Amino acid sequence: MAEVTKRQIVKFAPKGSPSFHEVVKSKVNDYFKANNISPYSNSSMYIKTAVMLSMYFIPYLVIVTGFASVSLWLFYPLYILMGLGIVGIGTSVMHDSNHGAYTENDTINRLLGSVLNILGGFSLNWKIQHNVLHHTYTNIEGLDEDINSGFILRMSPDKPLRRFHRFQHLYAWGLYCLMNLYWVVAKDYIHLFRYDKNGLLQNQKTTLRKALIELSLLKVVYIAYMIVLPIMFSGVAWYHVVLGLVAMHIVAGFSLAVIFQPAHVVETSDYSSPSEDRKMENNWAVHQLMNTADFAQNNKLVSWFIGGLNFQIEHHLFPQVCHVHYPKIAKIVEGVAKEFKLPYQVMPTFGSAIAAHGKMLKKLGNNEKLSHTDIAGFASV
């Protein structure tokens, strides 16, 4: 059966009344109204946007104008800084914009969301993979493409087990380093053909031909400004430019992976799947709670740099709320979850989240039974 057909007939359980989702939405909306706060960006977000964009484009200008040619000890760190800029733009600016959370102005959201196209990605694909598939079918094998790493990684207990998966907790980190490079070179094309086959491009009101032309033009522009121009004007040998570009994407790929994966691929995730008649046991909002975890809630630097994605529960329940508000509404979400006797998973630090993800990779690779209890570093409410 084609994936698009499966998606059409997967049904989450009814919400119930009063439902967790209704109550938590009501209380979060009351918070914004009572404090006369917009759920969109504020002045601190505008400053952050300028910082994140500068972290990518200023080093690029230094490189392409030849000022970095004085020393490779300056040249390569600038590419590494650009890699961090990709992370900051991706998690803080592009992410909110493509969710419609940056501003109520759709034109500005589209403009800032399209920055991904300049970074070597393709915003159309990202919206399908992330907004449509991941946010709707979180951790459901065959539907959530964020846990689909081909046959190399097993990120779901419902995925076929291969002998080499028992080593995935060791080699996954190396693959994460290559994630962005793969995305820039091949992934977008592969996804376009799959999304066209499953009817998802049609849902976005475009065609495969149109999307391929747009993507190819963007790739040409990316090659021109990220490879051709630096080789012509940076004042360093071409292979240093290529190595710098690779270093940039290694930093970005690894960083983005260890930000996103610990929120879902951890032992406390439920990984529930539809029954034979394609019905889910829980409603959508409860499913999000059961398959998502927060981490490092008290680390302001982490929260600032990764766009509040350490508050992944809040993001999944309120994707159209700008991330600058997540720390405040987290207490509301936690309280309502407790009221409904639902789990609210939190890992205390960024390090414990990465360790928990590594532990989960090992369990999945060895087909160990997932207990969902007694997880070191987790607090269930």
Residue 371 lies in a domain: no
Burial state string for 172-199 with b = 16 or more CB within 10 A and e = fewer than 16: bbebbbbbbbebbeebbbebbebbbebe
Q: Is the pLDDT of residue 275 over 70?
A: yes
Confidence of residue 5 (pLDDT cuts 50, 70, 90): very low
Residue labelled with tokens 């691929």: 265
Residue 372 lies in a domain: no
Tell me the per-residue pLDDT of 165-213, one tens digit each, with 9 for 90 and over. 999 999 999 999 999 999 999 999 999 999 999 999 998 999 999 999 9
Full DSSP string of 327-345? HHHHHHHHHHHHHTT---E
**14 CB-near residues (< 8 Å, 6+ apart):** 283
Domain that holds residue 261: 3-365
Tell me the per-residue pLDDT of 278-301, one tens digit each, with 9 for 90 and over. 899 999 999 999 999 999 999 999
Residue 344 lies in a domain: yes
Q: Is the pLDDT of residue 381 over 90?
A: no
What's the angle, vertex CA 367, arms to CA 362 and CA 371, rounded to 5? 85
Q: What is the pLDDT of residue 2?
A: 39
Q: How far is CA 85 from the centre of its chain?
A: 15
Confidence of residue 380 (pLDDT cuts 50, 70, 90): very low
Q: Is the pLDDT of residue 254 over 70?
A: yes
Residue 145 lies in a domain: yes
Residue 351 lies in a domain: yes
Q: Is the pLDDT of residue 376 over 80?
A: no
Tell me the per-residue pLDDT of 93-126, one tens digit each, with 9 for 90 and over. 999 999 999 999 999 999 999 999 999 999 999 9
Residue 128 lies in a domain: yes
Number of domain units in the chain: 1
Residue 338 lies in a domain: yes
Phi, psi of 345 (to 5 degrees): -90, 130
Q: Is the pLDDT of residue 40 over 50?
A: yes
> Residues 319-348: what's their mean pLDDT?
97
What separation in angstroms does the CA of 381 have from each of 38, 64, 271? 29, 52, 19
Residue 343 lies in a domain: yes
